[in-house]
Structure formats: structure tokens, C-alpha cells
Amino acid sequence: MELTFLGTGAGRPSRQRNVTSMALTLPQPRGSIWLFDCGEATQHQLMNTPIKLNKIEAVFITHLHGDHINGLPGLLSSRSYHAGSGPLQLFGPQGIKDYIDAVFRLTSSHLDYELIITELEAGVIYEDEELIVEAHPLNHRVPCWGFRIVEKDKPGTLDAAKARELGVPFGPLLGQLKNGRDVMLPDGQLVRSGDVTGPDLRGRIIAILGDTVPCHGVGQLAQGADLLVHEATFQGDMAEKAAAYGHSTTLQAAEAARAAGAQRLYMTHISSRYRDEDMVALLQEARSVFPESYAGADLMSIQIPRRGELPQDSSLS
């Protein structure tokens, strides 16, 4: 799994940061893309990455503020020009369907693929054989949501040599053992999957939050996450101003990560008052609370390893 930050700024674009969007690349062989928020110029940012619009299979919108959604109509329209664009699922707050319908009606736009719109309710909003997505409400100036992406556990690696020693022939029975199913051999011997496979591979958990002040929903989403993406609009001593605008500080993001037992925190939605040279001090104050704190940057890609694996990226600074 890989997460690419397409925009890490707050409110409006700046010379150093575009407004909010990020793309999650799902594990191979699936390799498709889930997009989280779609601020203005998101599709322009995508042109600076290997990501193709026809690989995006779902878009998740946290809330209807313009810096999180104004790039969506253009991106959806452009996707029609990419060969092989299949159905796309769009998840967002109440009102997102009205928004899309109004923009497309007034601009006479149409799509050459099926757009499936789901307006959010708390709980599981999506599940397939590999992944579960939960949505929980946050506390912002407008209805706002966060998403918890849970990868299902997978059976451990098959020890083919050990299976052969137990008399399992090459063929379908090995595949069944690899997939976690016990098998009966022709001679009546039962071979248990657990006897010839390693421990299950624990699924990863990614929590991606919209704009919020500290609230109960943050903990629900972030609990035990391998990666927590949390807004940190202001520095730690600006908690009063942050609360007035429905936002969090660096220290509050770090406290949320620590309380949830997260493995890594990436802060985003950084106010345009802060320049690149300010980020060292912001990181230091977050790390005083939660050492595994990092700052997102536009076009940065980070690997999300399984527990016990080392990240394969060089962005940890």
C-alpha cells in the first residue's frame, strides 16, 4: 500500500502547498486507486504522478468545504476521456449528490461511465474480499467525516516443502492449504493449513481524517492504526484559534496518535502561514508528544508496511 499526498494545505492553495487531496494505491495485483478529498487542481497534481484517472475506482469526500471538493467535478469529467474507465464509487456527506447533479446540469456535463453515489452514515460503508471501510463523524463547522480503511488478514506463507513431506501432491490441494483451508488426502490423512503455513499476515489499518477539533470520532477512527493522517492546521500554542475555526493543532494531532496507539502520524492541512522552513519546529513540537510524527508534503509518497516491516520510503524526515 502506498499513500500519495496531492495537496497538504488548508483553505486555499499557496506556492508551496495545494489544497487537500490524497491517493491510496491498493496492494497488488489489484493496484487500483482510492482518492480521499479532491480540492481544486487535484487532477493537475495527478499529472505529476504515475496515477491515471482510469485507475481510480473510488472517491471519499470528508466534507463539502471548497478546499476539499472543488476539484471533483473536473476530475470526474476528465475521467470520461480515459479509455477503460469503469464504474466509480463516490462516498460523501449528505448533499454531495445534489452538488454533483447541480454542477453537471448547469455545465451540461455528462459521464461515459457509471457514477455510484453513496451519502454517508456512521459505520461500515464498504466491504469486499480484501478491505473494509468505516466512516465516523468528526467535529467541524459543517458535517465532516473520517475514514478507517481496514485490510483483512491473509493466510501466512505456505511451506511447500513441508506440505510435500506430508504427502500433499502438486495441484489444487496446495492452493487450498495456502488459502487457509484444511485438506483431506486420498489416503484419508487430514492436513491442516496451520501445520504448513506461517502465521497470518496481519492486515493494515489506515485512518484518514477530515477537518476536526479533538472529539470522540478521532479515537474511533485512529485506534491501533498503522498510519493516521490527521489535520494540523495550526501550531501547538494556537489551540484557541484552531477551535474557533473547527481545526486541530500539531500537539492535538500528536496527542490523538498517542492515545489511539497508532504506529505513525502524518500531519496535513497545514495553514499557509507556515513555510517549509517552519516545518522543523512544528515537527519538533509534535514529536515531543508522539515521536513517530511526520509532515505531509505535496507529491510525497509513503509506503504503508505491515507490522514488523520497515517502511520502504525515504520521506521520514
Annotated binding site for Zn(2+): 63, 65, 67-68, 140, 211, 269
Q: Which three cell numbers stand for residue 300?
A: 510525497
Written as nine digits, the cell of 81 is 476521456
- Taking residue 30's Cβ as centre, other Cβ atoms within 10 Å add up to 13
Contacts with 80 (C-beta within 8 Å, 6 or more apart), sequence order: 110, 111, 112, 113
Is the Cβ–Cβ distance between 135 and 147 less than 8 Å?
A: yes
Spatial CA neighbour of 270 closest among 62, 36, 17, 15: 17
Among 305, 288, 294, CA closest to 265: 294
37 catalytic per annotation? no
3-class DSSP state of 64: coil
Which of the 8 DSSP states describes residue 79? H
Which residues, other chains included, contact 244 with Cβ-Cβ below 8 Å and sequence gap of 6+?
Answer: none
* Residues of the binding site: 63, 65, 67-68, 140, 211, 269
In contact, 310 and 303? CB cutoff 8 Å:
no
Taking the C-alpha atoms of residue 317 and residue 295, their distance in angstroms, rounded to an integer, is 8
CA–CA separation, 302 and 279 (whole Å): 18
- The one catalytic residue among 67, 101, 182, 313: 67
Q: Which of 312, 317, 281, 308 is nearest to 297 (CA)?
A: 317
Neighbour-count burial of 210, counting CB atoms closer than 10 A to its CB (0-12 exposed, 13-18 middle, 19+ buried): buried
Q: Quick one: cell of 256?
A: 490523538
Cell of 311: 517502511
CB-side exposure of 85: number of CA atoms within 13 Å? 21
Catalytic residues: 67
